[in-house]
Amino acid sequence: MVTDTYLLFEKERPTPPYIRVTANSLKRFVKEVFVALGVREGDAEVVADVLVTADLMGVSSHGVQRVERYVAGIECGAVNIDPEMRLAVDSGAVGVLDADNGLGHVAALKAMMIAIEKAGQFGAGVILVRRSHHYGIAGYYALKAVERGMIGISMTNSESLVAYIGTVERYLGTNPIAFAAPRRHPPPLLYDGALSVVPVGKIEVYGKVGKEVPAGWVIGSNGEILQGDARRIHEAIKKREAAILPLGGYLEEFGGHKGSGLALMVDVLCGVLSGAAWGSHVGYTTVKNANVGHTLIALDISKFMELGEFYDRLEHMVSDIKSLRKSPWAENIWIPGEKAWLTMQTRLKIGIPLHLNIAEGLKKIASKVGVKFDVEVVEEHLT
C-alpha cells in the first residue's frame, strides 16, 4: 500500500508557462462546453470525466486539450448529440452495441457497464461497439470493472495514423489496449498503452508547448526518420506525408512486427468483428460515419476463484517484481498504473497543470460556445 510520503509525485514535469487548476472546476467547465453545444447533461458529464481523468493521470495527450476535437465533430454534424444507442446483438455473454454515431466516451462506458452486468451472470462479458467515435483513454473503461472487483479490458481502433511494418503509409490506428485488475489496496494494476511508438496526441501536445519530436517516432513517406519541429511533423502526418511508427519501430530487429501484429489484432476485434470500420477506413471525429469500433471485456474474478485468493496471488507477484535487483539507472521499480495513480493523488491535492497555450485554446472555445472559462487557478508558473 502506498503511503502519504509518496503522494507528491508527477510522472512528467509540466512544461512552463502553465497554470494549475482544480480538477472539479475544470470538469465543470468542460461539461458546460458540451451542454452549451446541445449534448445531454449526463453525456456531457461522462465526456468531462474521461478527459479530466486523463489529465489527472498525467496523460495530457488525451486530456482537455482534446476538447477542440470533439467540439469540431459536433459542430460539423459528424457526432450525433442525441443518439439512440442499442444492442444490435445480445446473445448470452456477448453483444454488439450500435452507438448511432454518438460520442465514443458515452458508448464505451455504456458497453462496459453491460459487459460488467453480463460478467456477473456468466463470468465474462464481451461487448463490441460499432458506429462510434474516439473514446479518450482506454484505461478509464477498464477501471470501471475494477470498481466492481472485476478484471477489465478495453481496446479501440482509430483513424489510420501508423505505418504497418515494412511500409511508409498511414494504415493502422494507434489502437490502444488497456488491462486493469483490482488489488486489495490501491493502486489497481493498470496497463494502458497505444500500439504505436506514441499516440498522435503526444505529438500534438509537443507542438502546442514547443517541444521537439525525437528521432524514432515518425517516418516520412520516402522512408526517412523525421525529427524536430512537432508542429511541422504533425502537419505532415495530417497531410499523409508521414506516419507514426508501430510499437517497436520500423524494423523487425526491434520488434516493429509485434506492434503491427497487435494493432492488427485490435482492428480485427474492434473493426472487422464488430461491424465497424478498420484500418484506413476508420474516420476522424469530424468525418460523418467515422464508424470507430471498441471492445469492452469484463471478467468476474469470483467465478474463477475466491477474490481474496486472487488478491493474495497478485500481491505475491507484485512483491516478486518489487524485490528484483534494480538497474543502476532506475529510481524505482514500477508496477503498471502506479505512476498514474500517484500523479492523480498529487493533482487532486495541488491541481492539474495546463500549459498556457492549451488554456488559451479552451478560452477561445468557451467564447465561441458562450460559456465562461471559470476554472479555479491555484498556482501559476509563467517562467
Q: What is the pLDDT of residues 199-240, one digit of tens each?
A: 999 999 999 999 999 999 999 999 999 999 999 999 999 999
CATH, residue 39: 1.10.1530.10
Q: What is the pLDDT of residues 160-206, one digit of tens each?
A: 999 999 999 999 999 999 999 999 999 999 999 999 999 999 999 99
The answer to whether position 60 is within a domain reads yes
The answer to whether position 177 is within a domain reads yes
Q: Are residues 211 and 333 in the same domain?
A: no
Q: Are residues 32 and 169 in the same domain?
A: no
The answer to whether position 89 is within a domain reads yes
The answer to whether position 4 is within a domain reads no
Q: Which residue has the higher pLDDT, 3 or 280?
A: 280
Judge whether residue 6 has pLDDT over 90.
no
Q: What is the pLDDT of residues 103-127, one digit of tens each?
A: 999 999 999 999 999 999 999 999 9
The answer to whether position 10 is within a domain reads no
Q: What is the pLDDT of residues 137-157, one digit of tens each?
A: 999 999 999 999 999 999 999
Q: What is the pLDDT of residue 8?
A: 86
- Residue matched to cell numbers 477498464: 142
Judge whether residue 368 has pLDDT over 90.
yes
Q: If pLDDT is split at 50, 70 and 90, which confidence band does 3 have?
A: very low
Q: Are residues 359 and 271 in the same domain?
A: no
The answer to whether position 282 is within a domain reads yes
Neighbours of 99 (CB within 10 A): 28
* Signed CA dihedral, 96, 100, 101, 105: sign only: negative
Q: What is the pLDDT of residue 265?
A: 98
From 244, 262, 281, give the residue that closes a domain: 244
Count of domains in the chain?
A: 3
Q: Are residues 164 and 293 in the same domain?
A: yes
Q: Are residues 274 and 134 in the same domain?
A: yes
Mean pLDDT of the 324-339 span: 96
Percentage of residues of the chain with pLDDT beyond 90 = 97
Query: Cell for 279?
Result: 484500418
Q: Are residues 191 and 297 in the same domain?
A: yes
Q: Are residues 163 and 230 in the same domain?
A: no
Q: What is the pLDDT of residue 2?
A: 41
Q: Are residues 207 and 318 in the same domain?
A: no
The answer to whether position 332 is within a domain reads yes
Q: What is the pLDDT of residue 1?
A: 37
Q: Are residues 311 and 328 in the same domain?
A: yes
Q: Are residues 185 and 317 in the same domain?
A: yes
Q: Are residues 65 and 46 in the same domain?
A: yes
Please tell me the distance from the alpha carbon of residue 372 to that of residue 363, in angstroms, as a whole number.
8
Q: Are residues 114 and 214 in the same domain?
A: no
CATH, residue 139: 3.30.1370.60
Range of the domain at 110: 83-197+253-349
Question: Mean pLDDT across the chain, nearest whole number?
Answer: 96
Contact, 78 vs 163, CB < 8 A? no
Mean pLDDT of the 354-368 span: 97
The answer to whether position 2 is within a domain reads no
Judge whether residue 242 has pLDDT over 80.
yes
Mean pLDDT of the 4-22 span: 86
Contact, 102 vs 132, CB < 8 A? yes
